[in-house]
Amino acid sequence: MKRALYITLNEVKLYLQDKGDLAFGLLLPIVTFALMYGAFGGQTLFEATAVIVNEDGGNYSTLFVEQLDEVEGIDVELLTATEADAKLERSDLLLALVIPAGFSETLASGNKAELVFKQRGNGGQEGQILASIARSVAEEMNQEFQVRDQVKSNLEGTGIPEDRIDVTVQQFLEEERGQPAVGVVEEVVGGSPDFISQFLPGIVTMYVLFALALSARTIVEERKRGTLERLLTTRLSANELFFGKFLASVAKGFVQTLILLGLSYAVFQLFTPLSFIASLIICLIFAAAAAALGLIIASIARSEDGSVWIAVVFTMVMVMMGGTFFQVSEGSILATVGKASISTYANDALRTVVAEGGSLGDTVWQLVVLAGICVVGLAISRLIFKVLPGSK
Amino acid sequence: MAEEFLVVKDLHKSFNEFKAVNGVSFSIEKGEIFGLLGPNGAGKTTTIRMLSTVLGADSGDATIGGHSIRRDAEAVRRIIGVCPQDLALYEDLSALDNMVFFGRMAGLNGDEARAQAMTNLELMGLEDRARGKVAKFSGGMKRRINLAIALMGNPQLLFLDEPTVGIDPQSRNHIYENILGLQKKGMTILYTTHYMEEADRLCQRVAIMDGGQIITLDTPYKLKSQIGSPEQVTMEDVFLKLTGRSLRD
């Protein structure tokens, strides 16, 4: 067993000396994470630009534009009616808010004013959200007018000047906005079913599978440099050689996941300490299964190119079948076919923990399958190595 | 009578229809340097691969230090060292790392492996380059490291498969001196080479193989005597007379 560990240690030393492998193994996960952070990092709030055609130009229309601009994530762009129409015509724009002429005057006279949503089709998803936000801003303005009218009508004949009533009502409404009667408290429970937590498992399992390509080369490289034959004339048994190579491959695959999960934990705060440990255990077992399959390829392949090609094709098939980049619907043909992919079990287990807030206990079935693949894979690779020429 | 350390009996090995080794028998005495000569494809390397337990024999057997290569390969591997024809090194690692690693594979613990590695590096004149990356070594230095690795674990029988191919006379001479030094310490050596003067200089006895069989086996002096005056005839003359002048690519 000691000699197996020396094989592992030697493999790790060689790995650290190979700049290409090292870059692939350690830097690529960091780069991937940086891209993920760039795409989904920070607060995932709605951000959009509201295109407004202000045909009114009065006090109240200006107030509406200012209030809309104050909404977090909304930028306001003012266009003329002609510009907006041209953009709508070219589908450069799906929705424009038009404040018709006379808007402020109508409101000042105590009558109801209207906003116009000029849109292509249903205005698009972003347009619909913008329209909804604009409606709530308009609704808030309506309520303010109603309060002001009500107060004025109640104080009619008391001799209090109208502008004083306006100022007092305005102060009251601002205080009310600062301390709303019905507030909203956000309470985070377990993992969040957002974009990152849905896709992170797929990215992690894909990295582990790519590590399989590295482990598939391991025996071929020894053969190529002549050290395999030399090792086979020492006291090292073929079982020790395989176990040593297996441990090294597991370590290589696991380090990549450790980087990705560690960064996700620290930056995206996707995990609780327990779910982080559970995810690491899942990745470790998956890396073991992938390494065992990599050793089967390593035992069969007789050239470096051959081993890498087999591993890459195998990896791509597993990734596609395993629902790495898309959710596979239950009961679909792909879901049935995907059961033949080891990625499916790893993705399911990781999604259970990361996205659904499940525990390791909820993933026992998947972990048993992965552990089984690992044991069978090791036995098959050893058998192939024994049967094919050039072994003990 | 000297103790026979390696005894080969009727060893056969075929690859499909090709008989690479066809009934080879010979023995090597303890402390002897025995040369196995032959043109390309004669079956020398296949014989060494079978004796070093890398390749299974189709039939026949050999014992090394009393252990059968077929029934007790593990015991055989404890007492042999192999210096293969092609360099078998981790070029990205240092000379010392290579040697310590193979020392551990030969059953040494960390301290023993390091101590023996330094001794062997010194023997090869490479102690100053112990921490240098093998990839940056010259061809001669790599050959010397290749040989030094084979000495890790103090084997009793050393297989040297063309250990001096492609190196300068200085490095070659250094290796000769080391081999003779090892013999003085009691090591038994099976040596293959294409350089006939090497065999003449180093080996007590030589066997010439061709077509998977041993076609002659004797001391270099007696072999030379068979075709002329030993002082005037070279081993190359003997070799060409016995194996012919046709090319063996």
Per-domain boundaries in chain B:
4-243
What's the CA gap between A264 and B165, in Å, rounded?
55
pLDDT, tens digit (0-9, with 9 covering 90-100), for A356-373: 888 888 899 999 999 999
Name the more confident of B246 and A295.
A295
Helix, strand, coil share of chain A (percent; to 5): 70, 5, 25
User: B141 or A334, which is more confident?
Assistant: B141
Shortest CA distance from A241: residue in chain B: B105
C-alpha separations of A174 from A62, A177, A235 in Å = 18, 5, 84
Query: DSSP state, B127?
Result: G
pLDDT at residue A324 is higher than 60: yes
Question: What mean pLDDT is predicted for residues A19-38?
Answer: 78
Which residue in B225, B198, B233 sits closest to B33, CA to CA?
Answer: B198
Chain B residues inside the 8 Å CB shell of A2: 104
- Largest pairwise CA distance in chain B: 54
Q: Cβ of A179 under 8 Å from any chain B Cβ?
A: no
- The mean predicted confidence, pLDDT, of chain B is 89
**CA A81 to CA A53: how far, in whole Å?**
6
Among residues 161-220 of chain B, which lie with CB inside 8 Å of chain A?
none
Averaged confidence pLDDT in chain A? 83
Query: Which residues of chain A have a CB within 8 Å of the CB of B86?
Result: 226
Q: Where are the beta strands (DSSP E) in chain B?
A: 4-15, 18-29, 33-37, 59-64, 67-68, 80-83, 157-161, 188-192, 205-210, 213-218
Q: Pull the structure tokens for residue A74.
A: 């909304």
Contact B105 A235 (CB under 8 A): yes
Q: Which residue has the higher pLDDT, B189 or A264?
A: B189
A208 and A290 Cβ atoms separated by less than 8 Å: yes
Contact B104, B110 (CB under 8 A): yes
In this complex, the residue of A14, A231, A235 whose CB is nearest that of residue B92 is A14
Query: Among residues of chain B, what percentage have pLDDT more than 70?
Result: 98
Q: Please, which residues have CB within 8 angstroms of residue B115's CB and are 6 or more apart in sequence?
A: none
Q: What is the pLDDT of residue B245?
A: 64
Chain A touched by B75 (CB under 8 Å): no
Tell me which chain B residue has its CA closest to the CA of residue A1: B105
Higher pLDDT, B143 or A194: B143
Nearest chain B CA: its distance from A311 CA (Å)? 24
The pLDDT value recorded for residue A187 is 61
What DSSP state is assigned to residue A50? E
By C-alpha distance, the chain A residue nearest B98 is: A10
- Which of A180-184, A202-206, B75-79 is predicted least confidently? A180-184
Nearest CA in chain A to B153: A234
Choice among A151-155, A212-216, B98-102 with the minimum mean pLDDT:
A212-216
CA-to-CA dists, residue A10 to A3, A244, B93, angstroms: 10, 9, 9
The confidence score (pLDDT) of residue B49 equals 93
Q: What is the rounded average pLDDT of the residues B187-191? A: 93
Residue B75's pLDDT band, with cuts at 50, 70 and 90, is very high
Query: Domain B4-243 belongs to what architecture?
Result: 3-Layer(aba) Sandwich (3.40)
Distance between alpha carbon B212 and the CA centroid of its chain, in Å? 18
A-B Cβ pairs (cutoff 8 Å, strict): 66
- Which residue, among A5, A14, A224, A230, would best test binding to B if mutated, counting the most B CBs under 10 Å from its CB? A230
- What is the reported pLDDT for B149? 93
Supply angle C-alpha A216, A4, B69, rounded to 5. Answer: 95
Question: Are B97 and A233 in contact (CB < 8 Å)?
Answer: no
pLDDT > 50? residue A190: no
pLDDT confidence bin for A107, thresholds 50/70/90: confident
Q: Choose from A17, A224, A234, A241 for mutation: most chain B CBs within 10 A.
A: A234
Helix (H) or strand (E) holding A309: helix A304-321
Q: Given CA atoms A244, A247, A249, A255 in this order, what sign does their dihedral have?
A: negative
Handedness of CA A286, A289, A293, A295 (dihedral sign): positive
A146-150 long-range CB contacts below 8 Å, 24 or more apart? A147/A172, A147/A173, A149/A110
Residue percentage of chain A with pLDDT more than 90: 16
Which site among B49, B90, B97 would you substitute to test the A interface, given the most A Cβ atoms closer than 10 Å to its Cβ? B90
> Taking the CA atoms of chain B, what radius of gyration do you get in angstroms?
18
Q: Which chain B residues are Cβ-neighbours of A237 within 8 angstroms?
A: 74
Identify the top-confidence range among A105-109, B223-227, B239-243: B223-227
Could you tell me the pLDDT band of residue A266, with boundaries at 50, 70 and 90? confident
ipTM surpasses cut 0.90: no
Q: Per-residue pLDDT for A45 more than 80?
A: no
| Position A196 confidence tier, pLDDT thresholds 50, 70, 90 | low
- Residue A392 is predicted with a pLDDT of 44
The predicted-structure confidence for A70-81, as pLDDT tens digits, reads as follows 887 888 999 999
- What is the pTM (predicted TM-score) of this model? 0.72
A142: Cβ contacts below 8 Å, ≥ 6 apart? none
Q: What is the pLDDT of residue A191?
A: 46
pLDDT reading at A192 higher than 70: no
Single-letter residue type at A237: S
- Identify the pLDDT of residue B242: 76
Exposed / middle / buried, residue B39 (Cβ in 10 Å: 0-12, 13-18, 19+)? buried
* CA of A241 vs chain B CAs: smallest distance (Å): 10
CB-CB neighbors (< 8 A) of A235 in chain B: 74, 77-78, 105-107
Domains of chain A (ranges, CATH numbers): 2-41+194-387 (no CATH), 48-178 (3.40.190)
CB contact under 8 A, B82 and A3: no
Instruction: Give residue B51's pLDDT.
Output: 94
